[in-house]
Structure 1
Amino acid sequence: MSAAPALAHGRPDPRAWAELLRLPALFTVPGDALAGAAAATARPDRRTVLAIASSLCLYEAGMALNDWADRAEDAAERPHRPLPSGRIRPAAALGAACALTATGLALAARAGRPALTISVPLAATVWSYDLFLKRTPAGPFAMAAARGLDLLLGAAATGGGLRPALPSAALLSTHTLAVTTVSRHETRDGTPAAPVAALATTAVLAWLLPRRPPRHGPPPRRRHTRRRAATTTALTAAYAATVARPYLYAVLNPSPPLTQRAVGAGVRATIPLQAALAARTGAGATALFTVALAPVARRFARRVSVT
């Protein structure tokens, strides 16, 4: 049965919703809260799980709202997307965005007042980006702020202080700023400027990540320090390797297909970056769990685009 008759009878199209919500990108979300908890030197617990669930809901709310806000542009440039193709009604996408936002805020409230305090501006940033800021010079900065707030949500929910998590939030936000800047040219021919800047940003982050973050608490044993450094270096290399070649190809030929590949690689590289952020604070188990999400995300991305 075609998508149009299924929609006419009110039957949901799972494939269309997977495309609308860009499900493979979901695997880039749990690492935010986990890296935040690690940076705050707090052990993940039930509240961390609630923060992750809240982040997932707010992230997907942004995805649904993004297509609702872009439905006219997508009709001209990407008519295969779920809304312009008629597989999902615009009202359903908007309703999903509202419901997911409410659920995300409720889950953050369950994690405690500090988490709710972070989740409210996070939700406001997501909605502001999709509805007002996306096509303005402030757009990439709003997206970067959302990622940084998401990491701080994990720190706040787990009971750690926000100050120790600020350096990790800044590094994650910087990567997101670079990827979002590149994504502004993924539907039309652009210039090499954005991917060149993204390459330079990756190099700077790869240099900063292995450096020891500000220490809180007693100094670790020398053996643990060496292990932490080795793990962080390996994860940093994985982060850089994920994006270096796609960014370089986009520099040499900033066409929409290669730019979209670069954006997809930048989104996937968020996972090893989150893992490196956790490892540099000594949370080795958290780092390994986070990076294990990368092959799963890559596998799902072969079926559903993350851009």
Structure 2
Amino acid sequence: MMSKLKGYIQLTRPANLPTAVADIVAGVAVSLTLMHGVEDAAAMASAHVGSILLLCLASVLLYASGVVLNDYFDRNVDAIERPERPIPSGVIPSRSALAFGLVLMCLGVLSAVMVSVLSGVLALFLALTILLYDAAGKRHVLFGPLTMGACRGLNLLLGMSLFGEVALWWMAVIPILYIGAVTLVSRGEVNGQNRSHITLAFFMYLGVIASLWGLMFYAGISFIYLIPFLIVFAAMVLIPLWRAYKNNSPANIRKAVKAGVISLILLDACIAVIFAGWTAGLSIVLLLPASLFLAKQFAVT
């Protein structure tokens, strides 16, 4: 019984779930500031805490469904490359994993619908994009990373939909570019030898950093607030990436992917700082210790 419970928990990638919450909080911070200004954002957040929690729940459930279904569709490959995972090891039957993933997905969409029609529509599109990636998209060199990135872009927009509208929809390009880079790097987790992917990912990471810098000028904030968050974010993703390039082993590549996934929290913190100030960014950074702790207990990829 305990082994099955642990298996189901492993399927959801617990260490990654705080990153889904970070997307929502960043999107909410942008929405609150645009609608009510920095001064009133905190008060409005308190007034809408129920809706914010529902969006966080929707995001976590949808993310969990995505990684569960990913393992379901990868069960035959994992039987060869990662036989220790819950499905190929026989801890969780494949049909049970499929049902578990679909239930999580439906509950995620339902949670979003309870906030607004737009939130529900975005959650539905996110669910369909997750299915597209898991079932077919990830097998394509270019389409796979873009589809995975689109999932994160939609998740950010889901947070922005708190008040039933999304003003800065084009900001979804930032997580699309970022997760596209992380997904490219992950192509070498099993066999290594992916320096060309790492090189392209490096320039995509630079594009993300440049986008955040440009977003700072768009929002009209002082660089003093963003710089500390941006430096930590850049260091967390670029140092492991360099090590993976220098020693192009599966172990180093996995570390680079792990750093990329967890550093989503810092990326979201940068977005929050730009629109809602350093306190909003710090509130997202507080998710980092939980993610790092869980990463020591459960696999990130």
- TM-score by length of structure 1 reads 0.88
Distance of 1:86 and 1:115 partners within structure 2 = 37
1:153 aligns with: 158
Which structure 2 residues correspond to residues 257-296 of structure 1 after superposition, within 5 A? Answer: 257-296=251-290
For residue 210 of structure 2, what is the aligned residue in structure 1? Answer: 207
Superposed CA RMSD: 1.7
Q: Which residue of 2 aligns with 1:20?
A: 11
* 2:246 aligns with one of 240, 252, 274: 252
Question: Which of these residues, 102, 105, 111, is aligned with residue 107 of structure 1?
Answer: 111
Shift of 1:95: 0.8
User: Conserved in 2, the CA contact under 8 Å of 1:193 and 1:251?
Assistant: no
What letter matches 2:282 in structure 1?
Answer: L
SS of 2:140's equivalent?
coil
1:231 aligns with 2:225: yes
Rounded Cα–Cα distance in structure 1 between residues aligned with 2:169 and 2:233: 20
Moved more, 137-146 or 193-202: 193-202
The answer to whether structure 1 residue 34 and structure 2 residue 19 are counterparts is no
Q: 2:8 and 2:279 mapped to 1: Cα distance?
A: 33
- Give the letter for the 2:58 counterpart: S
- Structure 1 unaligned segments of length 5 or more: list them: 1-5, 220-224
Q: Number of aligned pairs?
A: 286
Gaps of at least 5 residues in structure 2 are 36-40
Aligned runs of 1:1-307 on 2, under 5 Å?
A: 6=1, 13-40=4-31, 41-42=34-35, 43=41, 44=45, 45=48, 46-137=50-141, 138-156=143-161, 158-159=162-163, 161-167=165-171, 169-211=172-214, 212=216, 214-215=218-219, 225-226=221-222, 229-307=223-301
Rounded to whole Å, the distance in 2 between the matches of 1:283 and 1:17 is 38
Cα distance in structure 2, aligned partners of 1:131 and 1:119: 18
State the secondary structure of the residue aligned to 1:190: coil
8 Å CA contact 1:61–1:97 kept in 2: the answer is yes
Structure 1 Cα separation of the partners of residues 285 and 209 of structure 2? 16
Poorly superposed stretches of 4+, deviation over 3 Å: none
Following TM superposition, by how much is the alpha carbon of 1:160 offset from its aligned partner in structure 2, in angstroms? 6.2
SS of structure 2 residue aligned to 1:163 = coil
Deviations along 1:61-109, whole A, 9 cap, x unmatched? 0111011100100000111111111111111111111110110111011
How far, CA to CA, are the matches of 1:231 and 1:95 in structure 2? 45
- 1:208-250 deviations in Å (ceiling 9; x for gaps): 32332534xxx7xxxxx44xx3231111111111111210111
- Contact 1:213-1:281 within 8 A present in 2 as well: no
Deviations 1:133-186 (A, max 9, x none): 110131111000010000001111x1164232422x211211111001111221
Q: Report how far residue 257 of structure 1 moved.
A: 1.2
Alpha-carbon distance between aligned partners in 1 of 2:261 and 2:179, rounded to the nearest angstrom: 8
**Aligned equivalents of 1:191 and 1:173: distance in 2?**
21
Structure 2: distance between partners of 1:100 and 1:166: 28
What's the CA shift for 1:129?
0.6
Q: Please report how far the alpha carbon of residue 56 of structure 1 lies from its aligned counterpart in structure 2 after TM superposition.
A: 0.5
Q: Which structure is higher in helix share? A: 2
Does the 8 A contact of 2:24 with 2:159 survive in 1?
A: yes
Question: How much identity, in percent, do the aligned residues show?
Answer: 30
